[in-house]
Each structure stands twice: as C-alpha cells, then as structure tokens.
Amino acid sequence: MKTISFILNGKKTVVEVRDSETLLYALRERLGITSVKEGCEIGECGTCTVLIDDEPHYSCMTLASKANGSDVKTVEFLGTADLLHPLQEAFINSGAVQCGYCTPGMLLSAYSLLLKNKDPDTDDIREAISGNLCRCTGYIQIVEAIKDAAGLCKHNS
C-alpha cells in the first residue's frame, strides 16, 4: 500500500492505495468520484478522462501512485447542479448529452482546451476531443456546445 497525497478538485486529499491500482479505481472505489467512468480500460474510449495538472489523461492506465503531488480534476470541479459551468449549460442546451456516459470525460477535455485556447475553431475542438468517444450524438452537437461555451466564457471574462 502507498499513501498518496494530492489536490482533488481543489481540496487536499490523502488516501491509501494499492501499488497496483489505477487512478480510476482509487477515484471511484476509495473516493466516491463515480463521474469518472470505466469503459474499455485500454486507452481507447476516454470515458475515464481526468485532468492532471490541467491536461487530460486516461485514469484507467494511470497508476494511482502517479497522482501523488499533482492536481487532479474531475467533472465535479466544473460545476454543481445549482451552478453549472458554461460548458455544462451549453452541452444541455445543444443536445450534446444523450446517454451521458461520455459526457464527464468530454467536458474535461473541452475544459482543458478552453484553458489554453479561448477562441478554438472547429478543427481545434475536434482535435481536443479526439480521445473521447461518443456512441450517441455524432459529435456535431458536442462541437457546437463547446463553441458556444467558448463564446460565453470570452464574453464573461
């Protein structure tokens, strides 16, 4: 076992993990963050995406011990049911959510993009979410939503 200490959604977190466990497992089973989903577990679907130091990573292939000392964000960081992030509002308004399985990961990849690029074009957006699969929407609404949110964020800042 190892004791790891990291910032999870802005809060200092200390947790015991097995040496051979993934960050996905630690987040879901030890810390109750079930927005991070388990899909393929081999880096091909993106539903386990988390931000480590604001960059998207697959938590299914990241050892939990690698999170020690870093900043980890999941979709809980973005907003709450009462106070949604503009990205979340835009996803809802554009019909970018169907079954929702891809949504947390998709939002995090989009959030990371907007941190680096306030004014992304369609190609930038498609590239940024290329590691996240959606089996429902066909992506058009997701790309639209991210564009709308970028406009809103720019307007607000």
Ligand X SMILES: Cc1cc2nc3c(=O)[nH]c(=O)nc-3n(C[C@H](O)[C@H](O)[C@H](O)COP(=O)(O)OP(=O)(O)OC[C@H]3O[C@@H](n4cnc5c(N)ncnc54)[C@H](O)[C@@H]3O)c2cc1C
Beta-sheet pairing, 2-8 with 71-73: parallel
CB closer to another protein out of 22 and 141: 22
As a whole number of angstroms, the distance between CA 20 and CA 56 comes to: 21
From ligand X, ligand FES, another protein, none, interface partner of 102 (C-beta below 5 to 8 A by class): ligand FES
CB of 105 to ligand FES, least distance (A): 8
156 forms part of the interface with another protein (CB under 8 A): no
Residue tagged 């307007």 (tokens): 155
Report the phi/psi class of residue 133: left, alpha or beta, with left for phi > 0 and alpha for psi in -120 to 50: beta
From ligand FES, ligand X, another protein, none, interface partner of 100 (C-beta below 5 to 8 A by class): ligand FES
Instruction: Count CB-CB contacts under 10 A for residue 76.
Output: 14
13 forms part of the interface with ligand FES (CB under 6 A): no
Question: Integer distance in angstroms from the first to the last C-alpha of the chain?
Answer: 44
x-or-dash pattern for ligand X, window 44-83, by CB under 6 A?
x---------------------------------------
As a whole number of angstroms, the distance between CA 64 and CA 83 comes to: 30
Site residues (vs ligand FES, CB under 6 A): 38-41, 43-48, 58, 60, 97-102, 134-137
